Structure 1
Amino acid sequence: MTSPGTIGASTALVGLLGDPVHHSLSPALQNAALSAMELDWVFLAMPTPADQLSSVLKGLEAIGCRGLNVTIPHKQTVAALCKTLSPLAQRLGAVNVLVPHADGGWFGTNTDVEGFCRPLRDAESSWNKRRALVLGCGGSARAVVAGLIELGCSCIEIAGRRNEALIAFQRECLDWAPQLKTVCLSDEASLATSLEQADLVVNTTPVGMASPNDPNAALASPLSPNLIGRLKQESWVYDIIYTPRPTRLLQLATNHGCRSIDGLEMLVQQGAAALRLWSGRDDVPVAAMRDAALQQLTT
């Protein structure tokens, strides 16, 4: 066995598939955990174009990859490439973790729900009967909606740019989220009303994420300052983006008197849950993962 922190002929592979993945903190936090657990594994971020996803999965299976995280834009499309799905992943139609199947192929599941809920449970003892507004209707939004239902929120609205996408999202979630309502971002009057009533706003869009290809990307916000001004003070704003830290959305919300949560703890908690699945061990060092992610962000 190779010594922790070094790579040798016996080192096994785990990793992240997405496009892009250059910004990800997952390698830093996962490799810190692998070293602390003395596992002879290495975690790599692997950029994977959509048209190569199937081929990449087959190749990684062939070389004995121990497990994978999946991120944008593959969380939904990868579900169809799995041999089996967990009940949660099947319900959501979104997968962010792959585990090698005993009979070949991949088992797909979702740890985003667990990762999303943990910071909210730490922030408030109860979310029962609260009202939530979710920005975006992609794969991450499905996990967020499932988490909000698990937390007991009584009213959940989804906001997006296109009515067609919102209606499709609502229809796909009808069996397990019948209380879900929609509001179009272009309908500022309805959106303002939703914001005024919300106890929690969650951004699941990539708007505001730092990008080396667009230096102005981090200055963007999915909500204008005027719309943020409609929020109740002391309400919560949760941005699942963690680069930059804080995002423009959270800066504006904090200045307005809202309380904020960024996506770093969600990343850490979903990553820890994934590592438990890959390794079959419960002694995943969450604190070491968090410290490694914070250190990476400040370098």
Structure 2
Amino acid sequence: MAQLTGLLGYPVHHSVSPQMQNAAFNEQGLSFEYEKFNVPPEQLQQAVEALKTFHYKGCNVTIPHKTAVMPFLDEISEEARRIGAVNTIVNENGVLVGYNTDGAGFVKGVERLMNRRISSQDTILVIGAGGASRAICYALANKNPKVVAIANRTEAKATQIANDCLRESDVVLSLQQAEEQLASFGIVINTTSMGMNEDDPLPLSLTHLNEGTYVIDIIYNPFQTKWLTLAKEKGAIIDNGVAMLVFQGALAFTKWTGKEPNVSLMEQIVVKSVGGNYVIR
């Protein structure tokens, strides 16, 4: 009998995680199945309880449930608690444990893009102050770069993330300050949803962007946003959100199975599913 895993979210029709995870399970000959479940907020607790009832090995959690799911779990990892969100649940002998693999998955993608580890010389700008930003800021700060700066339209939200997830040496900037100081950053990351629609404004002006800067947008559909296109034209080294999706999924795969998945296969499945025909980095 197959071990069951899945995705809890609302809505989830757009998710490519089932294709990605099931391909990885099948490639290793594992008797696992991954499904997606459209769970309205008022049914979240019932859905979590069903994980035990039907002996699910675990699941992923996506918008809007990453924070709301936490009270329904038996245990929460320190990382997920600090971030304030859970994206992966593991059923450990009847105990539901919440983890967050988003930030660690993102860092793996950045380090692959740069072909090196994040170091004490790196200066990093994070744009946005939502749930993805929290996970990314926490993971980046744990790599001990020279500085992580966070900029957001509502500075109070950025300040809260800085207090919860960053170090005392890290900074909060207004969007105007971030634009003016852009040349001082070697890594620039958009964690907002600006760029998913054709008529969206740019998340940040790139007027002062230096050639050779690493510019990453966590959006992966469209495959290359207008912001990334502009950054590439200015000589930046760019990447989209495919790597984050794949690596956070790979970390979840390992938590459920105890095995390392074929990351290249998972990435190929995602790229094909979202209509891309190349990896843009």
TM over 0.5: yes
Asked whether 1:201 is paired with 2:188, we answer yes
Deviations 1:5-52 (A, max 9, x none): xxxxx3342111222322222111101011112223221222223332
Asked whether the equivalents of residues 83 and 101 of structure 1 are also in contact (C-alpha less than 8 Å), the reply is: no
Asked whether 1:220 is paired with 2:200, we answer yes
Name the counterpart of 2:262.
285
Name the counterpart of 2:279.
none
| 1:267 equivalent among 239, 245, 254 | 245
Asked whether 1:34 is paired with 2:25, we answer yes
User: For residue 291 of structure 1, what is the amino acid of its counterpart?
Assistant: Q
| 2:141 equivalent among 142, 149, 162 | 149
Unaligned residue ranges in structure 1 (runs of 5+): 1-9, 210-216
User: For residue 137 of structure 1, what is the amino acid of its counterpart?
Assistant: A
User: For residue 73 of structure 1, what is the amino acid of its counterpart?
Assistant: P
Superposed counterparts of 1:106-125, under 5 Å? 106-124=96-114, 125=116
Q: For 1:55 and 1:194, how far apart are their aligned partners in 2?
A: 48
Q: For 2:42 and 2:173, how far apart are their aligned partners in 1?
A: 32
Residues 234 and 221 of structure 1, relative CA distance in 2, 3 Å threshold = farther
Q: For 2:52 and 2:122, how far apart are their aligned partners in 1?
A: 43
SS in 2 for 1:228: coil
Q: For 2:19 and 2:210, how far apart are their aligned partners in 1?
A: 37
Name the counterpart of 1:180.
170
Q: For 1:168 and 1:121, how far apart are their aligned partners in 2?
A: 26
How many residues in Structure 1 have an aligned counterpart in Structure 2?
274
Q: For 1:246 and 1:197, how far apart are their aligned partners in 2?
A: 24
Structure 1 residue 275, shift from structure 2 partner:
0.8
Asked whether the equivalents of residues 82 and 164 of structure 2 are also in contact (C-alpha less than 8 Å), the reply is: no
Asked whether the equivalents of residues 8 and 59 of structure 2 are also in contact (C-alpha less than 8 Å), the reply is: yes
Q: For 2:239 and 2:201, how far apart are their aligned partners in 1?
A: 15
Deviations 1:154-209 (A, max 9, x none): 11111112133223223323xx5223321233xx2x13223232111111112222
SS in 1 for 2:69: helix
Name the counterpart of 1:297.
274
Residues 258 and 43 of structure 1, relative CA distance in 2, 3 Å threshold = same
Structure 1 residue 60, shift from structure 2 partner:
2.7
Asked whether 1:93 is paired with 2:71, we answer no
Name the counterpart of 1:161.
153
Asked whether the equivalents of residues 13 and 66 of structure 1 are also in contact (C-alpha less than 8 Å), the reply is: yes
SS in 1 for 2:181: helix
Asked whether the equivalents of residues 98 and 106 of structure 1 are also in contact (C-alpha less than 8 Å), the reply is: yes
Asked whether 1:192 is paired with 2:170, we answer no
Deviations 1:34-79 (A, max 9, x none): 1112223221222223332222111232111211111222222323
Q: For 1:164 and 1:113, how far apart are their aligned partners in 2?
A: 21
| 2:131 equivalent among 134, 139, 155 | 139
Name the counterpart of 1:255.
233
Unaligned residue ranges in structure 2 (runs of 5+): 277-281
Residues 232 and 45 of structure 1, relative CA distance in 2, 3 Å threshold = same
Residues 24 and 158 of structure 1, relative CA distance in 2, 3 Å threshold = same
SS in 2 for 1:88: helix
User: For residue 223 of structure 1, what is the amino acid of its counterpart?
Assistant: P
SS in 2 for 1:90: helix
TM-score, length of structure 1 as denominator length: 0.84
Structure 1 residue 247, shift from structure 2 partner:
1.6
Q: For 1:77 and 1:159, how far apart are their aligned partners in 2?
A: 25
| 1:240 equivalent among 218, 225, 233 | 218
User: For residue 110 of structure 1, what is the amino acid of its counterpart?
Assistant: N
SS in 2 for 1:77: coil
Residues 144 and 38 of structure 1, relative CA distance in 2, 3 Å threshold = same
Asked whether the equivalents of residues 203 and 239 of structure 1 are also in contact (C-alpha less than 8 Å), the reply is: yes
SS in 2 for 1:274: helix
Residues 254 and 68 of structure 1, relative CA distance in 2, 3 Å threshold = same
